[in-house]
Amino acid sequence: MPNLLLLLRHMTHATLLSAAVGLSAADAETANPLLTESTLPFHYPRFDLIKNAHFLPAYEAGMAAQLAEVAAIASATAAPTFDNTVVALERSGSLFRRVGTVFSNLSGAHTNPEMQQVQRTLSPQLAAHNDAIRLNPALFARLSSLYERRSTLGLDPESMRLLERYYKDFVRAGAKLPEAKKAQLRALNSELATLQTAFTQNVLKERDASSVIFATREELAGLSTTQIDTAAANAQAAGQPGKFLLKVQNTTGQPPLESLTVRASRQRLLAASLARGSRGGDFDTRSTVAAIAKQRAERAALLGYPHHAAFQLEEQTIGGVDRLNQLLAQLAPAAVANARREAADMQTLVDAEQGNFPIAAADWDFYTEQVRRARYAFDGAQLRPYYELTRVFLDGIFFAATKLYGLTFKERHDLPVYEPSVRVFDVFNADGSQLAIFLLDPYARANKNGGAWASAYVSQSTLLARKPVIANHLNIPPPPAGKPTLLTHDEVNTAFHEFGHALHGMFSAVKYPRFAGTSVPRDFVEYPSQVNEMWATWPEILKNYAKHHETGAPLPAELLAKVTAAAQFNQGFKTTEYLAATLLDQAWHQLAASEIPSADGVLAFEAAALKKVGLDFAPVPPRYRSTYFSHIFSSDAYSAGYYSYIWSEVLDAASVAWMIQNGGLTRANGDRFRATLLSRGGSDEALTLYKNFTGQEPDLKHLLVRRGLEAKP
């Protein structure tokens, strides 16, 4: 590797590009649009020019160019300074970042077999590339020299934090290990990258393979005409004309379960969902799950930690594994007790109907709706006509951002998109200056990962003179041609949530790209987006967007009152299914390598782990089972970190209470949130930013009240 780095150091950027693609330097940039900066506004990607064949050579060129830049930094004869070492590292890899950002985003939102092959090829190479930088002893020596005398360098706070973060990142990556252990670490990282890619791709393939075919319309009784027509169209597209196909979404629970009146149909759909990744065949993920967990545990031990969770939580805001376990132990019993009470209410209804069966997981959503109707005289289907997609965004989400932050939005149609349903908006500050470009990708597709997420195509940085290009990705089932897209209440809430992430990225005002937008601890990143959910039902916002898609009539006040009254309804179920998944995450990642079960023992381990903590309540299965738990097994990002949603809600609930106490939907509150927290990214300690905004320490009481786990004081 050192000889290669010396060679790369003396190659020009143009030579690297031409070598990577086999063209002259003059032709390389026009042949592959990823090799040059986009000339579109804000460096918006050239989706119209990018082809599958461009990714691998552009990646290879980007890796080679960054290694050459890093080699030059590490072998410089000048004494290390903040500028020639730390800032130089921040500037390095511009091509690599550009290619990686576009590829990783499209791999999640719009993949295809060719891209999946590139993923498989690149996964171990990218791990090796990262190791080549983080495990470079000469580079780490320069960083260490600066870190040890950091108090004498006269750095501003953001620069000081950058130096400290780089040093910690390198240490956590193994920079202090002896060479023999570095070799072991490289091998583990390479194998983990390959395994995680395989898991991701098999979960996506298995999800599509798990679609359930029904022979008759009667089996789908309870679904709307539009939903049944969509199922018929899905079956037609799958080569099953005259039948009906329900697609399985990424979570254990499936939306049609709340409406299907035929119990056998509910059971078939949930059984297909629960069996994913565990029934043999090409897409079975049990061996991959076991291997990932074992190799993460081995890596943690190599780095000096008792298990992977200890390694992951060291850098999080919750304060370590013991504090997390205490939080989960406090929440789990109350959540399950609530769920059992909810089940008893539903069982009473089943018995009154002489159903002659105990409430099971496949029945929960259906009978929840029956109880909701009886108790609050409404069901979720009554809301859908008032939640039309475009109106939710333009008159709801964007309207709230205008009221809070003075933002305005203008849709544009001149920029290329990777899929026709993607929409693009310019985002402007109150003074008329352009803040960002925002992409909305709302619909589910077979080649799109499940769930909902936000991502940056371009991250903000004053050092690199970059303004943000941010995307929201949802998985709303597309309606039949010519029909409106009507959302569920949960889908509306999710849309507000994901736009909270987008705001975090768009408001970023940091110098260094290392701190841009959502580059914060994993258990803090969900917090600002969860705060943004509060505006979905804020009266002034709701009345502006919740209008009947045909008549324009506002959502009736009495219906809204019922929604508000039912806010804590079914919270036992929601909290229990979430905590069950969270406990599985911790169960896998608080083990030493020798304790990891084999592939054949994965399901038994899962059952035992839930039983141990009292979350083995059969009518409420985990939100994700291990075999399709993409959050924790597709990458290291959320591994041992799925708890972050509930911890972020601790912060969110207190912040919402602060907002309400201080006037709610006001520019003053929005500007304060933007200035003290949203614009700061990771440039300061996360809890410091939280306290700067709320003026208080985190307090669990607001979450307990919100979820109905404790009486109001």
Chain segment 263-299, per-residue pLDDT in tens: 999 999 999 999 999 999 999 999 999 999 999 999 9
Nearest to 230 by CA among 476, 488, 490: 476
Q: What is the pLDDT of residue 380?
A: 78
What's the pLDDT score for residue 563? 79
346-355, 375-384, 664-673 — which is least confidently predicted?
Answer: 375-384
Strand partners of residue 470 = 438, 456
Out of 498, 526, 577, 606, the active site residue is: 498
Distance CA(622)–CA(203), nearest Å, equals: 17
Torsion sign across C-alpha atoms 21, 26, 31, 34:
positive
Residue 222 has pLDDT above 70, yes or no: yes
Highest mean pLDDT among 224-228, 265-269, 706-710: 265-269
Helix, strand, coil in percent for the chain, rounding step 5: 60, 5, 35
Give the mean pLDDT of 645-674.
94
How far are the Cα atoms of 88, 95, 459, 682 from residue 98, in angstroms, in the given order? Answer: 17, 5, 10, 21
Condensed to tens digits (0 to 9), the pLDDT of residues 62-88 reads 999 999 999 999 999 999 999 999 999
Residue 250, classified by CB atoms within 10 Å of its CB into exposed (0-12), middle (13-18) or buried (19+), is buried
Other Cβ atoms closer than 10 A to 240: 16
What would the mean pLDDT of 619-644 be, rounded to a whole number? 95
Exposure b/e, 403-413, CB count within 10 A at least 16 = b: bbbebbbeeee
Band the pLDDT of 26: cuts 50, 70, 90. Answer: very low
- Phi then psi dihedrals of residue 16, to 5 deg: -60, -45
What sign has the CA pseudo-torsion 322, 324, 330, 332? negative
Residues recorded for the chain:
713
- For the ranges 112-126, 277-291, 304-318, 556-570, the lowest mean pLDDT is seen at 556-570
State how far the alpha carbon of 279 is from the alpha carbons of 309, 313, 314, in Å: 28, 33, 36
- The stretches of 640-700 forming alpha helices (DSSP H) are 644-661, 667-676, 686-694
Mean pLDDT of 302-331: 95
pLDDT at 152 exceeding the cut of 80: yes
Phi then psi dihedrals of residue 235, to 5 deg: -65, -40
CA-angle at 492, arms to 490 and 495, nearest 5°: 110
With a cut of 50, say whether residue 2 has pLDDT above it: no
pTM for this prediction: 0.88
3-state secondary structure of 244: strand
- How many C-beta atoms lie closer than 10 Å to residue 566's C-beta? 16
User: Which string of DSSP letters, residue by residue, matches 54-89?
Assistant: HHHHHHHHHHHHHHHHHHHHHT-SSPP-IIIIIIHH
- Domains of the chain plus CATH, in order, are 2-176 (1.10.1370.40), 210-274 (no CATH), 388-520 (3.40.390.10)
Taking the C-alpha atoms of residue 85 and residue 87, their distance in angstroms, rounded to an integer, is 6
d(Cα 642, Cα 630) in Å, to the nearest integer? 11
Residue 498 appears among annotated catalytic residues:
yes
Nearest to 119 by CA among 107, 130, 101: 107
Instruction: Enter the tokens of residue 625.
Output: 């089972």
Q: Is the pLDDT of residue 482 over 80?
A: yes
Question: What is the mean pLDDT of the segment spanning 359-367?
Answer: 97
At residue 30 the predicted structure's pLDDT band, cuts being 50, 70 and 90, is low
- Encoded amino acid at 270, one letter: L
Query: pLDDT band for position 27 (50/70/90)?
Result: low
Cβ atoms 597, 603 nearer than 8 A: no
Lowest-confidence segment of 23-27, 284-288, 465-469, 492-496 by average pLDDT: 23-27
> Both tokens of residue 373?
């109707």
φ/ψ (deg, to 5) at 513 = -60, -25
Number of Cβ within 10 Å of residue 232's Cβ equals 20
Average pLDDT, the chain: 92
- Residue 710, pLDDT score: 64
